[in-house]
Amino acid sequence: MRKEPLLPYHFCTYFDANYLTRGLALYKSLCSHCGRPFILWVLCFDDETYATLSRLNLPGVRLIAQQEFEADDEALVRAKADRSRVEYYWTCTPSLPLYVLRHDPEVGLITYLDADLYFYSDPEPIYDELGDGSILIVEHRYASEYAYFAQRAGVYNLGWMSFRRDANGLECLAWWRERCLEWCYSRYEDGKFGDQLYLNDWPERFYGVVILKHKGAGLAPWNVSKYHLEIKKGHLYIDNEPLIFFHFHGFRCINEHVVAPAGFKYHLPKIVISEIILPYAKVLLNLSRQHKLPFVDTRNRPHRLRFFIGFFRQQLLLISPRWISLQLWNTSMFFKPFLGIVSLVIKKLTRFYH
């Protein structure tokens, strides 16, 4: 009996030249693990990103130029005028899935992905959980030591969100877009922060909302310490569920030899460093060299003294050789209390001499 061809997944994301290697890594991981065809819609926030991706002509990638995205959208252009670059990007988050649904009537379900996700297995279990639901969201699932982040970052994370082309999905997207157009700033104010806190009441506000339960989807620096991680037959499992994707929040490329694994001084277990962070750093470095793209993140580069101290406070990580990197990471925990005092002294001396 002849099988019907599988309908493709439709994903959308956005990034600028600063995240080009991350966007390519996301695409590469989807190619490696998606069990069915997919289309990745990419909103390019600068000409360099659009030109690079046009040149690469990647199968399954559909490019959206910023000018095309903003055309005939006066409300979005007005909002752009009083927001920083990052705030404008956040403002665009709900408008991107709506744009895809509006421009391609064949898309029945659209999934937004943050560009700093990387997949390790087929996302099919996520779609299985959605079932006939209209909207799928993922909790942050904070470890207890980071639970206080919920006030500012919200209950739900925006890394993966799915919206069906039905009354519930479209109502949710339209409502969220209006809220982001009204207010979307990088500060906490009246129960709002960026585009995130608007999601907190979606299960009560909208019908058809599914909250994902799979522990392997949404693993991130803020929750990894609460789970038991182990390798089985070459694959990483989270409390006996396979890792589907990891969210590389706060990951920074310092130079071609050093990365910052995560921000906010998150505690990352050794298995995450060895099986997730180091391989991801090498993927980004290889993509940078292969396509002649910048690797270093120019923002938030540490001062020279803080650079060296960072290795002993588990804030910086040597990309290779692997054994030295892991050994340094293991022994650094013993230096943390001492280096906290050293950092304080350095900070005071820096202020005194400046």
Domain boundaries, the chain: 9-219, 250-353
Phi/psi for 4 (5° steps) reads -70, 140
CB 83 within 8 A of CB 184: yes
Read off the pTM.
Answer: 0.92
In CATH terms, 9-219 corresponds, of 3.90.550.10, 3.30.110.40, 3.40.190.80, 3.40.50.150, to 3.90.550.10
Cα 345 to Cα 5: distance, rounded to the nearest angstrom: 64
Q: Tens digits of per-residue pLDDT, 102-134?
A: 999 999 999 999 999 999 999 999 999 999 999
Supply 156's token pair. 């739900």
Phi/psi for 159 (5° steps) reads -60, -40
Model confidence band, residue 166 (pLDDT cutoffs 50, 70, 90): very high
For residue 327, pLDDT beyond 90: no
Cα 121 to Cα 119: distance, rounded to the nearest angstrom: 6
Look at residue 352 in the predicted model and tell me its pLDDT.
46
Cα 343 to Cα 334: distance, rounded to the nearest angstrom: 15
Q: Which residues contact 225 (CB under 8 A, 6 or more apart)?
A: 143, 145, 266, 267, 268, 269
Cite the beta strand spans of 146-193 per DSSP E.
156-164, 188-189, 192-193
For residue 310, pLDDT beyond 90: no
Supply 61's token pair. 């990638």
Of residues 281 and 263, the one with the higher pLDDT is 281
State the chain's mean pLDDT as an integer: 91
Q: Tens digits of per-residue pLDDT, 20-29?
A: 999 999 999 9
